[in-house]
Every structure is written in structure tokens, then in C-alpha cells.
């Protein structure tokens, strides 16, 4: 068994696609619609056939409440692992991302946190070697 897809709720799929591709550097993997439903995913260019992240339109009142609550508590909606959190921090910040936490050493890793412009916090993680 493998994890092939996970999702994050977003308030605007076009805005999310721009952020996740142009700012974070992921690649669009799938984008098709059926009626009002749009299936939109991105993947890491380092592992294009790996796990995809679905950018799911948040039009569910219960999901909106959850998304807002974890954002207000400072909890990330997703975590992305990197081998160079400081380099990614500089690259992503230069592309206009708003960080809520610069690279910070914690137990067994260095983390940074940023807003995805679509209602979520994203955590970057570099494991200690």
C-alpha cells in the first residue's frame, strides 16, 4: 500500500495553482473539470510520479470551519520535506511568499512556516542528519 494522493482545501483553485507552481515550484499534474467540479493536482518536479497534492476547492462549511481553526492555531495544513530549508526559504521568500516563521531549529529538524495565500499554513521541514 502506498500514499499516492493527499489534499489541501483552498479558497480559490486558480490562485492556489499559481502559488503552488510559481512560488513553491511544484508542477501541475492534472487539471480537468466535470460540471462545477475541478480535479486539480500538483506534484514535485523531483518526483513527478510520486505523491500528488490535490488543490480542493473549499466550498464545504464544515471544512471551512476546520481550515480556519487550524490556521488560527498555527497548525500547518501540509508539510513538505526539503534537503535545504534555508535555501528554499530564501528562494520562496524572494518569490513573494509570506513566512510566519523563518527557518528555526527544533528537535531533530529545522522548520519554517508560510502562508499559501489560500487559507493554509505550510511547513517546510529539513531533518537533522
Domain count, the chain: 1
Q: What is the average per-residue pLDDT within 16-29?
A: 98
* Contact residues for 127 (Cβ-Cβ < 8 A; gap 6+): 81, 108, 109
- Averaged confidence pLDDT in the chain: 96
pLDDT at 129 over 90: no
The pLDDT assigned to 124 comes to: 98
Q: Which domain holds residue 38?
A: 5-127
**CATH number where 15 lies:** 3.10.180.10
Instruction: Determine the distance from the C-alpha atom of residue 81 to the mean position of all C-alpha atoms in its chain, rounded to a whole number.
Output: 11
The pLDDT assigned to 27 comes to: 98
The predicted-structure confidence for 63-106, as pLDDT tens digits, reads as follows 999 999 999 999 999 999 999 999 999 999 999 999 999 999 99
The three-class DSSP label of residue 103 is: strand
The burial class, CB within 10 Å (0-12 / 13-18 / 19+), for 11 is: middle
pLDDT at 55 over 90: yes
Percent of the chain with pLDDT over 90: 98
Amino acid at each position: 500500500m502506498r500514499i499516492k494522493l493527499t489534499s489541501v482545501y483552498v479558497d480559490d483553485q486558480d490562485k492556489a495553482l499559481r502559488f503552488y507552481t510559481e512560488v513553491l515550484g511544484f508542477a501541475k499534474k492534472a487539471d480537468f473539470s466535470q460540471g462545477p467540479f475541478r480535479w486539480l493536482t500538483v506534484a514535485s518536479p523531483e518526483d513527478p510520479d510520486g505523491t500528488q497534492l490535490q488543490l480542493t476547492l473549499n466550498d464545504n462549511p464544515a471544512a471551512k470551519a476546520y481550515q480556519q481553526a487550524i490556521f488560527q492555531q498555527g497548525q500547518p495544513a501540509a508539510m513538505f520535506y526539503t534537503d535545504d530549508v534555508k535555501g528554499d526559504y530564501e528562494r520562496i521568500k524572494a518569490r513573494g511568499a509570506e513566512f510566519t516563521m523563518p527557518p528555526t531549529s527544533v528537535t531533530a529538524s529545522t522548520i519554517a512556516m508560510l502562508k499559501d495565500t489560500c487559507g493554509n499554513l505550510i511547513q517546510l521541514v529539513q531533518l537533522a542528519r
